Amino acid sequence: MVVEVLEGKSISEIPVYVFKDDLYITINEDTMNALGIELPTSIKDNQKLNLVK
Protein backbone atom coordinates (compact mmCIF):
# COMPACT_ATOMS: atom_id res chain seq x y z
CA MET A 1 0.00 0.00 0.00
CA VAL A 2 2.78 2.44 0.89
CA VAL A 3 4.53 1.68 -2.38
CA GLU A 4 1.34 2.44 -4.31
CA VAL A 5 0.97 5.83 -2.60
CA LEU A 6 4.65 6.66 -3.15
CA GLU A 7 4.22 5.78 -6.81
CA GLY A 8 1.42 8.35 -7.04
CA LYS A 9 -1.73 6.27 -6.61
CA SER A 10 -4.54 8.17 -4.91
CA ILE A 11 -5.54 6.81 -1.51
CA SER A 12 -9.16 6.84 -2.67
CA GLU A 13 -8.22 4.26 -5.33
CA ILE A 14 -6.84 1.76 -2.80
CA PRO A 15 -9.39 -0.77 -1.52
CA VAL A 16 -10.11 -1.13 2.18
CA TYR A 17 -9.87 -4.62 3.65
CA VAL A 18 -12.05 -5.46 6.63
CA PHE A 19 -11.13 -8.43 8.79
CA LYS A 20 -13.57 -10.64 10.62
CA ASP A 21 -14.06 -10.04 14.32
CA ASP A 22 -13.33 -13.68 15.13
CA LEU A 23 -9.59 -13.57 14.46
CA TYR A 24 -7.20 -15.22 16.89
CA ILE A 25 -4.07 -13.59 18.32
CA THR A 26 -1.00 -15.80 17.84
CA ILE A 27 2.20 -14.81 19.64
CA ASN A 28 5.53 -16.62 19.73
CA GLU A 29 6.18 -16.76 23.46
CA ASP A 30 9.94 -17.43 23.17
CA THR A 31 10.44 -14.42 20.89
CA MET A 32 8.25 -12.24 23.09
CA ASN A 33 10.33 -13.18 26.15
CA ALA A 34 13.64 -12.72 24.30
CA LEU A 35 12.56 -9.20 23.36
CA GLY A 36 11.47 -8.46 26.92
CA ILE A 37 7.87 -7.83 25.91
CA GLU A 38 5.18 -8.24 28.54
CA LEU A 39 1.60 -8.74 27.44
CA PRO A 40 -1.00 -6.38 28.85
CA THR A 41 -3.76 -7.99 30.91
CA SER A 42 -6.31 -7.18 28.21
CA ILE A 43 -4.43 -9.48 25.81
CA LYS A 44 -3.53 -12.14 28.41
CA ASP A 45 -7.22 -12.47 29.30
CA ASN A 46 -8.33 -12.69 25.67
CA GLN A 47 -9.86 -16.11 25.00
CA LYS A 48 -8.58 -15.95 21.43
CA LEU A 49 -4.93 -15.72 22.49
CA ASN A 50 -2.75 -18.51 21.14
CA LEU A 51 0.80 -18.61 22.58
CA VAL A 52 3.26 -20.76 20.63
CA LYS A 53 6.88 -21.72 21.36
* Domain extent listing, the chain: 20-53
| pLDDT tens digits along 1-53 | 899 999 999 999 998 888 887 889 999 999 999 999 999 999 999 999 999 99
Report field, pTM of the whole predicted structure over 0.85:
no
19/2 Cα distance (integer angstroms):
19
Contacts of 5 (CB under 8 A, 6+ apart): 11, 14
Cα 44 to chain centroid distance, Å, stands at 15
- The one-letter amino acid code at 37 reads I
The pLDDT value given to residue 50: 94
The pLDDT value given to residue 16: 86
